[in-house]
Structure 1
Amino acid sequence: MTTLGTASAPPGEVDTGRLAVGETRDGTAVGLPCAVINGASDGRTLYLQAASDGDELNGVGVINRVVPRLDPAALSGTILVVGIVNYHAFQTAEHRNPIDDTKMNRAYPGDDNGTSSERIAAATFDAATRADLALDLHQGSTSRMIDEVRVRCGRRHRLHDECLALAKAFGCGYVLDQKGPGGQLARAAPDEGVPTIDPELGGCVGWDQESIDLGVEGVFNVLREYGFLADDATVSRQTRAKGFDQFGSPAGGLVRFRAALGDRVSAGDLLFEVTSVFGETKARVTANNDGVFWRTRRLPQVATGEYVCSVGTNIDTY
């Protein structure tokens, strides 16, 4: 019998339930939606979670489509799922937990007796560190971004190669291999011996079906590669960036992009222009280094110094 919160399933069965993480302001219990898919045969354990940022919904879309397709009779091992991590932010469609104004993916490993976010982080970290592998499904917030996977433990970490292999198995096509900020699950869980990655499934408002489809495919790629499913795995070469160049606007106005997401750019290539309301050119910004046009703001209007776009740099394939 495998249990996560109130979900409990013997081998060959599935159950859903709630993972308790505290109470709301009126004393109502808060439970994160969770599931246990317990395979009929022994094997590894995979932990899967989504929406640690409350407005990043593509991961929820992936779980919504993956779980109904999982047949425990054909599964070796166990899958533990938390479908919505940042409960309070999800309810209000906000990025940060509005109870304590915290970005959830900066709160790991959490604290059972801490703030709202720390308690949620502690409960989900406990679930993640019961697993052999972990996927923390994200997206580029509401900006525009290519589909990619982030390896956040740092290239000197003892589990770096395992995390990089997991990112390759997921197979988005692009990998950012750069040590992340403290408090991220994908940094904290490898310290406990669990290879963990952040699939960043595009960026949108609401759901983007293409990114969700790619995420569903990525989860099944991992299930095949790590022996949860008997199907043969196909692992393809990935384009890896080891760094980012980020660009702000040198002037206020309206942005016109001259590169498209995923384009290879060379140092000196024009990335974007800033114009006045009347179309007069106010500034032109070029790439500092060779790389991949990775991410952009969604809205065209910018103030001086405001974020505009990012280029993935130090590119190779593996």
Structure 2
Amino acid sequence: MTTTLGTASARPGEIATGRLEVGETRDGSSVGLPVAVVNGASSGKTLYMQAASDGDELNGVGVIQRVVPRLDPAELSGTILIVGIVNYHAFQVAEHRNPIDDTKMNRAYPGNKNGTSSERIAAATFDAATRADLILDLHQGSTSQMLDEVRVRCGKRHRLHEQCLELAKAFGCGYVLDQKGPDGQLARTGPDEGIPTVDPELGGAVGWDEESIQKGVEGVFNVLRYYGFLEGNQPLEPQTRASGFEQYGAPAGGLVTLEKDLGDRVSPGETIFTVTTPFGEPKAEVTADSGGIFWRARRLPQVATGEYVCSVGTDIGQY
């Protein structure tokens, strides 16, 4: 059966690319998101993938750029629907939020086809996503340094929690944040529609980071093998799961020195960063409130009072 997404239309055994219209720019030109359909020669499940719903989070775009040329629909069972760049306007200016309505796209789901720019884009991509059996929403830690991880955002009491955890484990980054997310995230609204959905957060970079992109490429192919899109045995590897997240800000302005590397274990009361003057004079020392794993940190050393510095994943376990 022919599968269509926007102007991309592929018969079994074909790949097609095209555009998904979501509105117009200020000069009246049509806005079309880049989309692809990979229609397997054999029937099977449907996977939906998207990237750059936050316009400066580019590692997911790098993943899709590398995954699609490696896919042979003759060897694929099922269908893959892809939106390569969701936040069109923010991507054009390398910003996080949609500059047309100053909205963070990953707070706009399930969207509104008659709403703001972001709500219309969310509605169009949500319509595509809800045609699938599984959803991967590729993100990164914006420009912060961050572990490669997968986020399960539906909450532990959700009826699809275990299925979302299974999808995160199949992706196999090694780290999982299992914490209910804010309203409007695709990884929150997808499970409400009965579709296991996760949010791989592939590191953080200015531009993109090849190591994190490669981790994402491996994760996508892990999912394709585990769920039967591709042949091959894909075992589930143990993951380190954090159920909490503690953020730390600077108690004083100055220059930050991090005392931990990403992935390091942190003990309660252990120093995680210090703040000094430009002359190296001590101003503040910040210690961990709880034990956990050093998960995320700012890239630039200069901070103002109260500015974000780092995060520690807490309530650590294996699953």
Normalised by the length of structure 1, the TM-score is: 1.00
The alpha-carbon deviation at position 226 of structure 1 amounts to: 0.2
Secondary structure in 1 matching 2:66: helix
Q: Deviations over 1:206-255 (max 9, x none)?
A: 01000000000000000000000011113210000001111011111100
The corresponding residue for 1:193 is 194
The corresponding residue for 2:12 is 11
What is the rounded CA distance, in whole Å, between the counterparts of 1:30 and 1:305 in structure 2? Answer: 39
Secondary structure in 2 matching 1:220: helix
One-letter identity of the residue aligned with 2:193: E
The corresponding residue for 2:65 is 64
What is the rounded CA distance, in whole Å, between the counterparts of 1:132 and 1:166 in structure 2? Answer: 11
Structure 1: gaps spanning 5 or more residues: none
What is the rounded CA distance, in whole Å, between the counterparts of 2:304 and 2:51 in structure 1? Answer: 32
Secondary structure in 2 matching 1:212: helix
What is the rounded CA distance, in whole Å, between the counterparts of 2:316 and 2:182 in structure 1? Answer: 21
The corresponding residue for 2:315 is 314
Runs ≥4 in structure 1, deviation > 4 angstroms? none
One-letter identity of the residue aligned with 1:41: S
The corresponding residue for 1:74 is 75
Alignment of 1:1-318 (within 5 A): 1-318=2-319
One-letter identity of the residue aligned with 2:280: G
Q: Deviations over 1:101-121 (max 9, x none)?
A: 000000000000000000000
One-letter identity of the residue aligned with 1:64: Q
Q: Deviations over 1:71-104 (max 9, x none)?
A: 0000000000000000000000000000000000
The alpha-carbon deviation at position 269 of structure 1 amounts to: 1.0
One-letter identity of the residue aligned with 1:243: G
What is the rounded CA distance, in whole Å, between the counterparts of 2:236 and 2:65 in structure 1? Answer: 24
The alpha-carbon deviation at position 68 of structure 1 amounts to: 0.4
Secondary structure in 1 matching 2:206: coil
What is the rounded CA distance, in whole Å, between the counterparts of 1:281 and 1:145 in structure 2? Answer: 26
Secondary structure in 2 matching 1:285: strand
Secondary structure in 1 matching 2:317: strand
One-letter identity of the residue aligned with 1:75: L
What is the rounded CA distance, in whole Å, between the counterparts of 2:92 and 2:251 in structure 1? Answer: 37
Aligned length: 318
What is the rounded CA distance, in whole Å, between the counterparts of 1:9 and 1:147 in structure 2? Answer: 33
Q: Deviations over 1:2-34 (max 9, x none)?
A: 000000001110100000100000000000000
One-letter identity of the residue aligned with 1:67: V
Secondary structure in 2 matching 1:165: helix
Q: Deviations over 1:244-279 (max 9, x none)?
A: 111011111100010101101111111000001110
What is the rounded CA distance, in whole Å, between the counterparts of 1:201 and 1:234 in structure 2? Answer: 21
Q: Deviations over 1:14-60 (max 9, x none)?
A: 10000010000000000000000000001000000000000000000
Q: Deviations over 1:254-305 (max 9, x none)?
A: 0001010110111111100000111011110111111000000111001111
Once the two structures are aligned, what percentage of the paired residues are identical? 78
Secondary structure in 2 matching 1:67: helix
One-letter identity of the residue aligned with 1:6: T
What is the rounded CA distance, in whole Å, between the counterparts of 1:245 and 1:55 in structure 2? Answer: 24
What is the rounded CA distance, in whole Å, between the counterparts of 2:37 and 2:277 in structure 1? Answer: 55
Secondary structure in 2 matching 1:97: coil
What is the rounded CA distance, in whole Å, between the counterparts of 2:220 and 2:297 in structure 1? Answer: 26
